[in-house]
Amino acid sequence: TTHTYEDEVKAVQNAKEAGLQVCVGGIFGMGETFAQRVELAFSIRELGTQSLPINFLKPIDGTGLDHLETIEYYDALKTIALLRLVLPKIDLFVCGGREEVMTDKQEQLFSAGANGILGGNYLTTKGQDPKRDIEMIRSLGLRPIASITQD
């Protein structure tokens, strides 16, 4: 990264002071400890952001993190639950990597504490068909609040 952690925190604070709604995200499965996840949760709480997109690392060949294993399913659920406990009012969205980590159990993201997902493709990887996400959400008795598709 080209910015220090302090630079990033100041940018969030400046945006909030300007009246903007701010989200701060995290990528899990990069070799961090659970204690570091706890530390991140409390740091985000201190920043007072409105939303938190959660990503799970999907190691890609040829990158500096291609030697890492995909985060375990139960570890992902524990991380979501931790974030929900520390950040009870935040919008918690699960985004990249959820298809690989959760496979056919993606609906359990909501039981663990997530209140949203980001569907479609991501910056560097393909996601699943958004229609599948909408079907999953509806099967849980929930209602998608936005659906944007791109042909």
What is the spatial distance between Cα 119 and Cα 36, in angstroms, rounded to a whole number?
A: 27
pLDDT digits (tens, 9 = 90+) for 65-108: 999 999 999 999 999 999 999 999 999 999 989 999 998 999 99
| pLDDT exceeds 60 at position 149 | no
Cβ-proximal residues to 81 (8 Å cutoff; 6+ apart), any chain: 112, 113
Residue 40 lies in a domain: yes
Helix or strand (DSSP H, E) at 28: strand 26-28
Task: Give the domain extent around 123.
Answer: 22-139
* CATH classification at residue 33: 3.20.20.70
Residue 89 lies in a domain: yes
Residue 8 lies in a domain: no
Sheet of strand 91-94: strand arrangement: 26-28, 51-56, 91-94, 116-117
Q: Return the amino acid letter for 83.
A: L
Residue 117 lies in a domain: yes
What is the spatial distance between Cα 90 and Cα 25, in angstroms, rounded to a whole number?
A: 12
The model carries a pTM of: 0.86
Residue 9 lies in a domain: no
Q: How many domains does the chain have?
A: 1
pLDDT digits (tens, 9 = 90+) for 100-148: 999 899 999 999 999 988 877 677 777 777 888 888 888 888 888 765 5
* CA dihedral angle for residue 148, residue 140, residue 51, residue 146, rounded to 10 degrees: 20
Q: Which two structure tokens, joined as six digits, stand for 17? A: 């002071």
Beta strands 51-56 and 91-94: pairing type?
A: parallel
